[in-house]
Structure 1
Amino acid sequence: MKLTVRSRWVRILVAVLAAGACVALMEALWDTKIARQIENVTLIRRFEARAGSDPPIDPRIVIVGVDEESITHPYLGRWPWPRERHGELLREATKRKPDVVTFDFFFTEPSPDPTQDEAMMQGLELYPNALVGAVAERDAPGFDSDRIGKTESLTRIIGDPYAAVGFDTGLTPIEDFAVSAWTGFVNCPPSEVDGIRWRVPLVVRLGSKLFPSIALQTVMCVQNVRCSDVEVEFGRAIRFFDSQGMLLRSIPINERGELRLNFRSLDRFVQVGYLRLLNQLRQLPEVPWPQEFPPLKGQILMIGQTAAGLTDLGPTPMSSSTALVLVQATAVNSLLREDYLQEVPRGTVLWLWFFVAAGSLLLLRHAAVMAAIILPLALAAGYVALAFWQFQVSSLLFPLFMPVAGFIGIHSVSVAERLLRESRAKSRIKSMFGTYVSPEVVNEMVAAPHPPQLGGEVREITALFSDIASFSTFSEVLSAPQLVQLLNEYLGPLTDTIIHHDGTLDKYIGDAIVAMFGVPVVRPDHAYRACRSAVEMQLRLAELREKWCQDGVWPEVVTQMQTRIGMNSGDAVVGNMGSSKRFNYTMMGDSVNLAARCESGAKSYGVHIMITESTHQQATADGGDLAFRFLDQIVVKGRTQPVKIYEILGFSRDLPQSIHD
């Protein structure tokens, strides 16, 4: 019991250490570029899989696209357009009273014609919630101020502001626009891993100050929140408060102040071309507002480049070429609807897979190889299905690649180790039994789900002993080479007969053959097989005698050779026995000794095959083609109970009727 308990704890320890090593390797490789690239591919597939069931975009968001039709129309002209056109759009849009108008591009230099800037500034002043873009970038004019026009910097900061996306230099709107409209930063750097925009900064550092992004500033305008009402805690959240200090909204951000974008199908955004919208507005009120157009009243107009030939495009999980205004609009939609991706903490996932890996390794330690392959694959597939399902129904983001790769990896190693171990065990079985039993039995042993127990066990077997009668006289009349030749010619066919009936050769003792039936592979009819084998051994010997007579070189003692065989069926101890360097698969026990006594006792009764009652009973129960004759009931030395003994006469079909009678 102590050994069993110890072995159990050793297996548990090995499984725990293996699972721990797997988790440690997962943690070490988690942030490598290739791992992140593959993880991002799985995330793209999740976005694609749920696109058809995405909820509607916030109806307040309207994308006003600088599209191909707009940039090719002579009225607007080539891009960039005169700023009076934007002023015109702003003035005309007042007819429909939008709540917020956002320009997702820059006005960082004055126009050569001051009237252009004047026209646009007058348009901006018509809206309390108009926004223009800014960008923090390298190789731009320096900046170190706590405000950009009427936009103040964010001052309620928890954490290191220099961790935020940004630079000491940047491009800001011209002063007239900065004092007439709010400023929002449009920085949206692609991922260094794959060039895709997975996140958008909600706060951007310019110099030593933090300013809201254009998406954050848009939502601040919608909720009438000023910069002084915003708290930024890096790695946790951006929080909006009302004038009484009550929390209005909490937006999750990472250590750099970025929001992980929860992309919805981009086709669900309401989009209208810049030129089409301007033309429709100019016709008011003479021409009624078309039903297919967004109402604009109380809505958020996000004006940005959407034409394929313009530069403000980039890859996203939804498309290889996405208008970046849609990236900002995605952020605005997430903020308005509080539709955020919720990332499952890495530590939680690692602990989960530690227990799953350790448990499955223990469970599958002694399972079939196919089960050890299928179950881990099923668990991994279940986890993948769970990740896709949770992503669709609750925007819960489970890491996929590293957990699945690590789990499949450790089980692949486990299966490979087991296959190697089993291959070695099978090779050992083949080398151990290849000369003792038939190839068919060896193959059966190798193919068995559980290899035979070779360390020693009690099994019911039939033991067979055979010996050449008066063999000592052979040594007197034959030379050593002749004796060796004779034994080889004799032992070969008789051993083949034993092996043919799935017997196992135990050993040769001079001219004696010792064999056993029913091990190492179980044969319920072992007694019947042994009896048939004994009869056929006598038939083979008769053929050998005829051959030796025809050879004409052997003395009469050889051509008249007789062999006695004794057998008994019963329990015996079988297994590998010997020293640590040399051992044999053999048998021992009282039933084995009784078989040897039968072989030697056959001489007293003048018979060639003598068996015990137990062998007789089992053989007749399993086969009816053998003829037996009761000989006697004897008390064997070392026993107190008498034993009935029988002679095997041969196959019933070969005996004359007189013997049957």
Structure 2
Amino acid sequence: MIRLALNLALIGLFLSFSANVIESPWMNSLENKIYDFRLNQTKPNTVDPRVVIIDIDEKSLKTLGRWPWNRKVMANLVDILFDHYYVQVLGFDILFAEKDNSSGLDTLAKMGEGIFKDNPTYLQTLEQLKTELNYDQQFADSLRERDIVLGYFFRNQVNENARELNTGLLPAPLETVKPFVSPIQQLLNPTGYGANLPMFQQAAVGGGFIDIPTIDADGVARTAPLVQHYEGGIYGSFALEMTRAVLGFPPIEPVYADYANENGSPVLEAIKLDEFVIPTTDQGIAYIPYRGNYPSYTYISVNDVMNKTVDPDILDGAIVLMGTTATGLLDMRATPVQNVYPGVEIHANIISGILDDTIKLKPYDVIGLSFVTHLIVGVLMMIALARLKLVYSLLLTLSLVSAMLWGNYYTWQVLNYVTPVVSPVLMILSLFILHIAYGYFIEDSNKRKLNKLFGQYVPPELVDEMNNTNKPISLKGETREMTVLFSDIRGFTSLSEQLDPEQLTTLMNEYLTAMTKIIHQNRGTVDKYIGDAIMAFWGAPLIDEAHARHAMQAAMDMQNLLPELNESFKRQGFPAINIGVGLNTGKMNVGNMGSEFRMAYTVLGDAVNLSSRLESITKQYGVTLIVSESTKDQAPDWIYQEIDLVKVVGKKIPISIYRPISKKFEINARQQKEMYLFKLAVKLYRAQQWHEAKKIIEQLKQLGSGLLLYQMYLERIAANQKNPPSADWDGVFEAKSK
């Protein structure tokens, strides 16, 4: 009976998955991986000559200067593309939301209204220069009477002030052959937008949204909406509008299935554009038909277009998209074919897919078909496995799995359908395994659960320890006293400008790996990487009574490892790095937090924010590590020096901040002398005995360490001598920046 009950429960579970009654993030993730595998195995790997991408690349930025370029350059670029190269359609995967004041026209006009208002020669010259210096008007004029589509974006975050955040002018809503049925219920409904300046959108023939709000939970762009509904209008994506421009802007027509959904409403299954029928989900979302790895299209540098050195045959009659692959302009996406992929090429793939009819369809009724398949196969397996010997059970299982995989490949490659494969295959395998080792799975279920829940957050040693503990462990939110660490690389922006992308990636990987090992070795949990910054915490998911000590040891180990890391960087031709670290201990919320699309095991609270603030002010004091008083009190194995009484940003109550000097019993005489003198100087400083405090700090400077800290106090003393504070001044310094 137990085996039968387990079988029925297992089949019922997978039936729930197939009917979307139960959502399984890990199964969805695996389904996505299988989707990626099929896509990569069957992609054509060809270059589409019809679509050309004009690239704002590093070469162009080096020649034409930092982005954004002035609109006179953009107007000239548009004229060259249409008048010299005769492109068919041009689309900007770029937003022109702000006025261009680079010509100085506004300044000259203000001068004409001010000091030169009575100078007729100046006013006459200004009037003559207005046309020449109005770069925005020149760009707008270059857009007129040409097939040019501008990009804009929709916001999908719920925000009460979303309308107030809107900028620019949206294009007119799409014309439809027949209206969409219940678009508010069917389509995505953004809450706001960011669009181009009205003069540009009015001059262009159209516009399409460039945002992709359907990024999967793993951050990969597999689908994109073709239409969205906003305040009663239907708006097309950038790729759809580019295709419409190629076809002469025909109206779109929603295509509905001959069956209804569970609410009785028609099911959207495609959008018809002229003779092209574009498969979509019931929300107007299409699968992106990637042709291959980057680049699957011809890329031409803007610099080469401006210099007219491009082969005219490449651009003559082409569908042209203007976007960027420059690292600093941040338009790179994760895709099934590559982790770093230009966003502009995603739009190009959709255009090609529409024109080639290669966009795949995930039928709405695939849920019903999947449910029936699960039911038939599940019951067959349950009955057969109870009667068959192990060898025949294995053959049956392998045969059913092979049939599922072949059928899935057939629907993908021949019928152009996207159908689920993970759930039925896993059900077959699960039933087989259950019948030969169900006891084993029951006994070890807790271990597997812990590995799944916490394996991505903590070192393997802690996962093993959690497996061996009898205390309940979960991801549910709770309040604990913990210690949080923030660190980042000093001057990372200038450092990154010295390295090419590959070198920067190598440096960051080596740095983050080394620091993460230290955190793990000291029982820490890495919360996240934020660019060059690391956030980690101690005290969860396992309770750690010595969390402050472990965090303090990790912070010191990170500092001590830097010379060795910098030696490695030097051998590779990389610049040396310095880091700042902040530590704070206090009550905070910890647990799995996020949305239905992405979750993260993280910490929140005022104590977390304070740790970040402490890290950010290390550079002001010229020290590499600052800890709060609460951390100092709970990590008494070190000797600390109080360096200031400060109000950090966001805090009304001042706090004492400290820097660790050394481990106890390891402090030398020179350090003791420096600590004594500095403590005395701070005491005199807070007592407003400026002359005496200054004298001691100047003596400290002669010791040759902490020069920035001491210089800072000398500057404060000088400022207070010039403008003395009130008699009840408490010596608190108020930080002005985060």
Q: Which band: TM-score by shorter chain?
A: 0.5 to 0.7
2:92 equivalent to 1:103: yes
Match for 1:66 among 25, 48, 56?
A: 56
What secondary structure sits across from 2:429 in the alignment? helix
In the alignment, the residues of structure 1 paired with residue 25 and residue 45 of structure 2 have an alpha-carbon distance, to the nearest angstrom, of: 33
Q: How does 1:159-238 map to 2 (within 5 A)?
A: 159-161=182-184, 163-181=186-204, 182-227=206-251, 229-231=252-254, 235-238=267-270
What secondary structure sits across from 2:243 in the alignment? helix
| Alpha-carbon spacing, 1:310–1:358, altered in 2? closer, same or farther (3 Å) | same
Counterpart amino acid of 1:193?
A: A
Q: How does 1:483-494 map to 2 (within 5 A)?
A: none
Deviations 1:497-530 (A, max 9, x none): xxxxxxxxxxxxxxxxxxxxxxxxxxxxxxxxxx
Match of 2:154 in 1: 136
Q: How does 1:20-31 map to 2 (within 5 A)?
A: 21=12, 23-27=14-18, 31=23
On the 8 A contact 2:15/2:375 being kept in 1, the answer is no
On the 8 A contact 2:174/2:236 being kept in 1, the answer is no
Identity of aligned residues (%): 20
On the 8 A contact 2:55/2:300 being kept in 1, the answer is yes
Match for 1:376 among 397, 415, 419?
A: 397
Match of 2:338 in 1: 319
Q: How many residues align?
A: 390
On the 8 A contact 1:264/1:330 being kept in 2, the answer is yes
Q: How does 1:402-551 map to 2 (within 5 A)?
A: 402-416=423-437
* C-alpha deviation, 1:317, in angstroms: 0.9
In the alignment, the residues of structure 2 paired with residue 160 and residue 205 of structure 1 have an alpha-carbon distance, to the nearest angstrom, of: 6
| Alpha-carbon spacing, 1:278–1:148, altered in 2? closer, same or farther (3 Å) | same
On the 8 A contact 2:48/2:297 being kept in 1, the answer is no
What secondary structure sits across from 2:320 in the alignment? strand
Counterpart amino acid of 2:297?
A: V
On the 8 A contact 2:186/2:283 being kept in 1, the answer is yes
Match for 1:399 among 390, 412, 420?
A: 420
What secondary structure sits across from 1:396 in the alignment? coil
In the alignment, the residues of structure 2 paired with residue 122 and residue 346 of structure 1 have an alpha-carbon distance, to the nearest angstrom, of: 51
* C-alpha deviation, 1:60, in angstroms: 1.4
Deviations 1:234-282 (A, max 9, x none): 842454466xxxxx2322222332112222203462222333441453x
In the alignment, the residues of structure 1 paired with residue 273 and residue 290 of structure 2 have an alpha-carbon distance, to the nearest angstrom, of: 27
On the 8 A contact 1:373/1:415 being kept in 2, the answer is no
Match of 2:349 in 1: 330
What secondary structure sits across from 1:170 in the alignment? strand
| Alpha-carbon spacing, 1:98–1:295, altered in 2? closer, same or farther (3 Å) | same
* C-alpha deviation, 1:130, in angstroms: 0.3
Counterpart amino acid of 1:158?
A: V
Match of 2:42 in 1: 50
Q: How does 1:81-100 map to 2 (within 5 A)?
A: 81-94=69-82, 95-100=84-89
What secondary structure sits across from 2:329 in the alignment? coil
Match for 2:324 among 297, 305, 313?
A: 305
What secondary structure sits across from 2:151 in the alignment? strand
Deviations 1:542-567 (A, max 9, x none): xxxxxxxxxxxxxxxxxxxxxxxxxx
| Alpha-carbon spacing, 1:136–1:267, altered in 2? closer, same or farther (3 Å) | closer
On the 8 A contact 1:102/1:303 being kept in 2, the answer is yes
In the alignment, the residues of structure 2 paired with residue 195 and residue 321 of structure 1 have an alpha-carbon distance, to the nearest angstrom, of: 11
* C-alpha deviation, 1:89, in angstroms: 1.4
Q: How does 1:7-46 map to 2 (within 5 A)?
A: 21=12, 23-27=14-18, 31-46=23-38
In the alignment, the residues of structure 1 paired with residue 141 and residue 306 of structure 2 have an alpha-carbon distance, to the nearest angstrom, of: 20
On the 8 A contact 1:236/1:255 being kept in 2, the answer is yes
Q: How does 1:343-382 map to 2 (within 5 A)?
A: 343=362, 345-382=366-403
| Alpha-carbon spacing, 1:141–1:363, altered in 2? closer, same or farther (3 Å) | closer
* C-alpha deviation, 1:364, in angstroms: 4.0
On the 8 A contact 1:136/1:205 being kept in 2, the answer is no
On the 8 A contact 1:380/1:407 being kept in 2, the answer is yes
What secondary structure sits across from 1:316 in the alignment? coil
* C-alpha deviation, 1:297, in angstroms: 2.0
* C-alpha deviation, 1:399, in angstroms: 1.0
Deviations 1:179-235 (A, max 9, x none): 1111111121253521111211111233342211111111111111344x5447684
Counterpart amino acid of 1:131?
A: V
In the alignment, the residues of structure 2 paired with residue 29 and residue 209 of structure 1 have an alpha-carbon distance, to the nearest angstrom, of: 32
Which range is displaced more, 229-238 or 259-268?
229-238
On the 8 A contact 2:385/2:435 being kept in 1, the answer is no
Which range is displaced more, 181-190 or 270-279?
270-279
Match for 2:286 among 248, 251, 259?
A: 259
What secondary structure sits across from 2:36 in the alignment? helix
Which range is displaced more, 103-112 or 270-279?
270-279
In the alignment, the residues of structure 2 paired with residue 46 and residue 301 of structure 1 have an alpha-carbon distance, to the nearest angstrom, of: 29
Deviations 1:577-623 (A, max 9, x none): xxxxxxxxxxxxxxxxxxxxxxxxxxxxxxxxxxxxxxxxxxxxxxx
| Alpha-carbon spacing, 1:18–1:189, altered in 2? closer, same or farther (3 Å) | closer
In the alignment, the residues of structure 2 paired with residue 239 and residue 317 of structure 1 have an alpha-carbon distance, to the nearest angstrom, of: 24
Match of 1:339 in 2: 358
2:274 equivalent to 1:250: no
Counterpart amino acid of 2:88?
A: D
What secondary structure sits across from 2:314 in the alignment? coil
Counterpart amino acid of 1:404?
A: V
Which runs of 5 or more residues in structure 2 are unaligned?
104-132, 257-265, 442-738
In the alignment, the residues of structure 2 paired with residue 102 and residue 91 of structure 1 have an alpha-carbon distance, to the nearest angstrom, of: 14
What secondary structure sits across from 1:256 in the alignment? coil
| Alpha-carbon spacing, 1:26–1:374, altered in 2? closer, same or farther (3 Å) | farther
In the alignment, the residues of structure 2 paired with residue 314 and residue 24 of structure 1 have an alpha-carbon distance, to the nearest angstrom, of: 34
In the alignment, the residues of structure 2 paired with residue 400 and residue 334 of structure 1 have an alpha-carbon distance, to the nearest angstrom, of: 24
In the alignment, the residues of structure 1 paired with residue 225 and residue 243 of structure 2 have an alpha-carbon distance, to the nearest angstrom, of: 14
| Alpha-carbon spacing, 1:35–1:270, altered in 2? closer, same or farther (3 Å) | same
On the 8 A contact 1:168/1:208 being kept in 2, the answer is no
Deviations 1:102-146 (A, max 9, x none): 00111122212462212221221251x10111111256655999x
On the 8 A contact 1:58/1:337 being kept in 2, the answer is no
In the alignment, the residues of structure 1 paired with residue 387 and residue 272 of structure 2 have an alpha-carbon distance, to the nearest angstrom, of: 58
In the alignment, the residues of structure 2 paired with residue 116 and residue 232 of structure 1 have an alpha-carbon distance, to the nearest angstrom, of: 44
On the 8 A contact 1:169/1:207 being kept in 2, the answer is no
On the 8 A contact 1:262/1:334 being kept in 2, the answer is yes
* C-alpha deviation, 1:382, in angstroms: 4.0
Match of 2:589 in 1: none
In the alignment, the residues of structure 2 paired with residue 134 and residue 232 of structure 1 have an alpha-carbon distance, to the nearest angstrom, of: 26
* C-alpha deviation, 1:82, in angstroms: 1.5
TM-score normalised by L of structure 1: 0.53
Counterpart amino acid of 1:301?
A: V
On the 8 A contact 2:294/2:341 being kept in 1, the answer is no
On the 8 A contact 1:62/1:269 being kept in 2, the answer is no
On the 8 A contact 2:54/2:300 being kept in 1, the answer is yes
Match for 2:315 among 296, 304, 322?
A: 296
On the 8 A contact 1:57/1:269 being kept in 2, the answer is yes
Counterpart amino acid of 1:339?
A: T
On the 8 A contact 1:103/1:131 being kept in 2, the answer is yes
What secondary structure sits across from 2:77 in the alignment? helix
Which runs of 5 or more residues in structure 1 are unaligned?
1-9, 243-247, 284-288, 421-661
